[in-house]
Amino acid sequence: MRYFLLPAILLLLTACNKKDPAPAPAPPSNPPAPAATYYGRFSAQKFVFWTDTFYMGQAYNALVILTSTPRTDVALASYGENLGAVKSNSVQLRFEPNIGIYLDSTGTLSYPMPISFQHTSTALGSINYTSADTFPTYPLALVKQIKDTLDKTKNFTVPLTGVAYYTNATCIMFNGSAVLTGVSKSALPGASGFTFTPQETSGLTSGNYYFLRLILQKNTDQTFNGKLFRFTNETYSDFSVYVK
C-alpha cells in the first residue's frame, strides 16, 4: 500500500512548497542498449598448427553450451546445462558435467561444408541449423611475419592487416595448459594487428617456449522457437614462440 501512497504524498508536499519544483533531469540522449541474451552457443572449431612458417596440420572440434535461462554471451560459459542430445555433422557430442559444455569425444568430427547442429529438448524445442559459412582464415603471408622469438625488451607484433572475415579476434600467449596465466589481447575487424609491449610481456619466463594462439571468430545469431542462439565458426591458429 505504501508504494501507491508515495506519489500522492510527494504531490501534497509539492503543493505546500511556495517555490517551483526543480526540473527533472533529462534522460540520456543515447542510453546504452541492453546486452543480447542467448539460450545457447554452437561453435564449430578448426585448429591449424604451425611450426615457424611450416603448416603442420589441422583438427576439428565442436563446443556447445545450452541453458534453459537466457544469458549474455559472456555469461553462457558459467551456466551450461545438460538439456539432451546434441549432434554436429552427424557426430553425437558428449556433455562434460564439470564444465557444463558439450564436446566431441570421438575424435572423428570434421567440417567439410556445410556445418550442421541438431538438438531437441523440452526446454528449447527443436533446433536444426545448417550453414555453408566458411571458417575465417589467417593467410600464409601474415604467418611469415610472426617472429619465432619474443624479445621482452621490445614490442612483439602479430599482424591482422588484410584479414576481413571475422567478427572478433583474440591473441593469447601461454605456457603449456596454463592459458589463464598468459597474456592476451582482443581486436575488432579493421585492426592492423596486436602489439604486446615489454610491460605486458614482462611476466613471461625467459628461456621458455610459449604457445601463441590466434583465434578468429565469425558469429551468426539466429532464432529458433522464439529463442536466440549464437552460432560461431572459430579458427585457432597455433604457433610456438621462444621468449628471451
Q: What percent of the chain has pLDDT over 70?
A: 84
Residue pLDDT, tens place only, 18-64: 444 445 555 555 666 678 999 999 999 999 998 766 778 899 999 99
Residue 169 CA, distance from chain mean position: 9
Residue 15 predicted with pLDDT over 90? no
Distances from the Cα of 43 to the Cαs of 103, 108, 152, in angstroms?
A: 10, 16, 35
Alpha helices in 17-159 (DSSP H): 140-143
Beta-sheet strands, E only, within 73-167: 86-88, 91-92, 94-96, 101-103, 115-121, 125-131, 149-150, 156-159
Alpha helices in 27-168 (DSSP H): 140-143
Which CATH architecture fits 140-215+238-243? Sandwich (2.60)
Residue 207 CA, distance from chain mean position: 31
Residue 7 predicted with pLDDT over 60? no
The pLDDT of residue 182 is 80
Distances from the Cα of 82 to the Cαs of 89, 120, 232, in angstroms?
A: 20, 12, 20
190: left (phi over 0), alpha (psi -120 to 50) or beta: left
What residues does CATH 2.60.40 cover in the chain? 140-215+238-243
The pLDDT of residue 164 is 83
Quote the cell numbers at residue 182: 598468459
CB 108 within 8 A of CB 91: yes
Which of 2-16, 37-51, 78-92, 230-244 is least confident? 2-16
Mean pLDDT, the chain, whole residue set: 86
The pLDDT of residue 181 is 64
Which of 6-10, 77-81, 132-136, 214-218 is least confident? 6-10
Residue 17 predicted with pLDDT over 60? no
Residue pLDDT, tens place only, 168-189: 999 999 987 655 568 999 999 9
Residue pLDDT, tens place only, 79-118: 999 999 999 999 999 999 999 999 999 999 999 889 999 9
